[in-house]
Amino acid sequence: MYKRVLAWIGSHAPPGSRRWWAALVPAAIVVYLFGTTVYVQSQSTYYRVVMDGRPLGYVAGQETVGDAVALAERNASREYGFPVRLANPPALEQIITHERYETLSLQALAERLQAAGDFLTRATVLVVDGQEVAVLPSKEAAQSVLDELKARYARRLEASVEGGRLDVRRVTIQQSIRLEERDDVPADRVRDAVDVLAQLMGGKQAQRVHVVRAGESPWTIASAHGMTVAELLGANPGVDPQRLQPGQELRLNVPEPWISFESEEVLTVTERIPFATRREYDANLDAGKQRVKQEGEYGEKQITYALRRRDSRIVEQRKVEEQVTRQPVDRILVIGTKPVAGVSTGRLIWPLRGRITSGYGPRWGAMHTGIDIDGATGQAVRAADGGTVVSAGWDGGYGYAVQIRHDSGLYTFYAHMSRIAVDVGDAVAQGQVIGYVGSTGQSTGSHLHFEVRRCTSPGCAVPPLGFLP
């Protein structure tokens, strides 16, 4: 172009001005070169940062991107709690332009990289029986979870022992466990040890089906599978619990443990040695009355057992040592033989006012030979009619019990009392306090077990409600 400019100037120069034209040529070249330099120098270079096809912004220099990546990885590592790196580094697109772009600072670009990017790490996968269960930051973290599970299992066993001392010597996991260290694991999959511990302790839900058999009820089915009736019915909406039919299928949402244990233990318990009772007779003491001449004392022995369990269930028990630490002392009981008579009205009254919690008849696979009347411990128990006390004292599973013979040929029986207020042979009047409500013997709570009998044996028991007002 500058050649055309010079040619035009030369063609229009006046005659005799060749020397002037020659001087103008260099000046024109200088002007052109200056203009070109100014044009080029007015351009700027930028770099557009792109992450997974999405633009994040512009920077002035490539080194900013590398520093921002390092900063983003450091910040992400602090948030995750373990070292991470970007899965895909950002791409750069160079742009040369006369326009002015707003550029990102190092901190701003690092924040955008951290928000937009995915991070990878080296982690440990916990594999149980071939199934990947959880991903943890390190092998040490995974092992700490397994160790804590075993420690909690041992503590739970030791705390469950009453009246003895349990030493859990060894706990092993029954499942096949692998801890696999892997690279390039997505950081979002990694969980801390506390979360994984809670997951493993919670177990997994396994779908199982129970086929109803004749005679089964929701209660018996739920109990057999370690569930409540509410849980069973919740897993089977629409099922009428009153109309179960043999062959009907019920779903069981039974939690199954991820981890189960086997343990070896030493159990040391102190057991009582029962004392014997010797009887002496006194003709000057009312018939049936008795007094204790010497209280009995239980002896004690210490027994050591070697146990093996699977998931809290004892599968092997061996007695390895037994040592008597205190000998029992006999109880001496003096029994009177002087005759005493009581007076019966022939009509029974309630021995205790309260709610009937269990009636006469079949219960728990056996015959319940009386009624259970709810009452508070220490509440007075009264004779249903006048008569003679024929037994008073400890009666095995009935605990502290009293039996009264009435003139009508009936016997009334009162059990599970906390304390007895009469003696054998006592003549008692209707309504007289004979003892106090308790929960002794085979009892699940404070109440009075009351029976009406045709003889002294439980086999002679008849329904009590027919004799009570």
pLDDT category of residue 234 using cuts at 50, 70 and 90: confident
Domain count, the chain: 6
Which segment of 21-25, 286-290, 314-318 scores lowest on mean pLDDT?
21-25
Average the pLDDT over 428-438 and give the result: 93
Which structural domain range is residue 421 located in?
340-466
Average the pLDDT over 240-254 and give the result: 86
pLDDT score at 5: 46
Q: Please tell me whether residues 351 and 446 are part of one structural domain.
A: yes
Q: What is the mean pLDDT of the chain?
A: 87
pLDDT digits (tens, 9 = 90+) for 335-385: 765 544 466 767 799 999 999 999 999 988 899 999 999 999 999 999 998
Q: Which of 318, 333, 348 is the last residue of a domain?
A: 333
Q: Please tell me whether residues 374 and 436 are part of one structural domain.
A: yes
Count of CB atoms within 10 A of residue 287's CB? 17
Q: Please tell me whether residues 438 and 389 are part of one structural domain.
A: yes
Q: What percent of the chain has pLDDT over 90?
A: 69
Judge whether 160 and 146 are in contact, CB under 8 Å.
no
Q: From CA 273, how far away is CA 294, in angstroms rounded?
A: 17
SS3 of the chain: CHHHHHHHHHHHCCCCCHHHHHHHHHHHHHHHHHHHHHHHHCCEEEEEEEECCEEEEEECCHHHHHHHHHHHHHHHHHHHCCCCEECCCCEEEEEEECCCCCCCCHHHHHHHHHHHCCEEEEEEEEEECCEEEEEECCHHHHHHHHHHHHHHHHHHHHHCCCCEEEEEEEEEECCCEEEEEEEEEEHHHECCHHHHHHHHHHCEEEEEEEECCCCCCHHHHHHHCCCCHHHHHHCCCCCCHHHCCCCCEEEEEEEECCCCEEEEEEEEEEEEECCCEEEEEEEEEECCCEEEEECCECEEEEEEEEEEEECCEEEEEEEEEEEEEECCECEEEEEEEECCCCCCCCCCCCCCCCCEEECCEEECCEEECCEEEECCCCCEEECCCCEEEEEEEECHHHCEEEEEECCCCCEEEEEEECEECCCCCCEECCCCEEEECECCCCCCCCEEEEEEECCCCHHHEECHHHCCC
pLDDT category of residue 35 using cuts at 50, 70 and 90: very low
Q: Please tell me whether residues 322 and 371 are part of one structural domain.
A: no
Judge whether 281 and 334 are in contact, CB under 8 Å.
yes
Residue 14 has pLDDT above 70, yes or no: no
Count of CB atoms within 10 A of residue 426's CB? 24
Which segment of 67-71, 252-256, 327-331, 452-456 scores lowest on mean pLDDT?
252-256
Average the pLDDT over 118-132 and give the result: 95
pLDDT category of residue 185 using cuts at 50, 70 and 90: very high
Q: Please tell me whether residues 276 and 194 are part of one structural domain.
A: no
pLDDT category of residue 254 using cuts at 50, 70 and 90: low
Residue 421 has pLDDT above 50, yes or no: yes
CATH number for position 233: 3.10.350.10
Q: Please tell me whether residues 54 and 96 are part of one structural domain.
A: yes
pLDDT score at 208: 79
pLDDT score at 26: 57
pLDDT score at 2: 46
Judge whether 301 and 273 are in contact, CB under 8 Å.
yes
Average the pLDDT over 154-182 and give the result: 92
pLDDT score at 342: 62
pLDDT digits (tens, 9 = 90+) for 82-121: 999 999 999 999 999 999 999 999 999 999 999 999 999 9
Judge whether 245 and 212 are in contact, CB under 8 Å.
yes
pLDDT category of residue 312 using cuts at 50, 70 and 90: confident
CATH number for position 383: 2.70.70.10
Which has more pLDDT, 402 or 408? 402
Q: Please tell me whether residues 278 and 353 are part of one structural domain.
A: no
pLDDT score at 226: 77
pLDDT score at 451: 97
CATH number for position 307: 2.20.230.10
pLDDT score at 236: 86
pLDDT category of residue 4 using cuts at 50, 70 and 90: low
Q: Please tell me whether residues 347 and 460 are part of one structural domain.
A: yes
Residue 31 has pLDDT above 90, yes or no: no
Q: Which of 66, 87, 117 is the last residue of a domain?
A: 117
Q: From CA 419, how far away is CA 200, in angstroms rounded?
A: 49
Q: Please tell me whether residues 169 and 280 are part of one structural domain.
A: no
pLDDT score at 343: 64
Which has more pLDDT, 7 or 184? 184
Judge whether 149 and 200 are in contact, CB under 8 Å.
yes
Residue 30 has pLDDT above 60, yes or no: no
Average the pLDDT over 435-451 and give the result: 96
Q: Please tell me whether residues 296 and 313 are part of one structural domain.
A: yes
pLDDT score at 441: 95
Residue 39 has pLDDT above 50, yes or no: no
pLDDT score at 20: 45
Q: Please tell me whether residues 345 and 452 are part of one structural domain.
A: yes
Average the pLDDT over 452-461 and give the result: 93
pLDDT category of residue 15 using cuts at 50, 70 and 90: low
Q: Please tell me whether residues 238 and 273 are part of one structural domain.
A: no
pLDDT category of residue 56 using cuts at 50, 70 and 90: very high
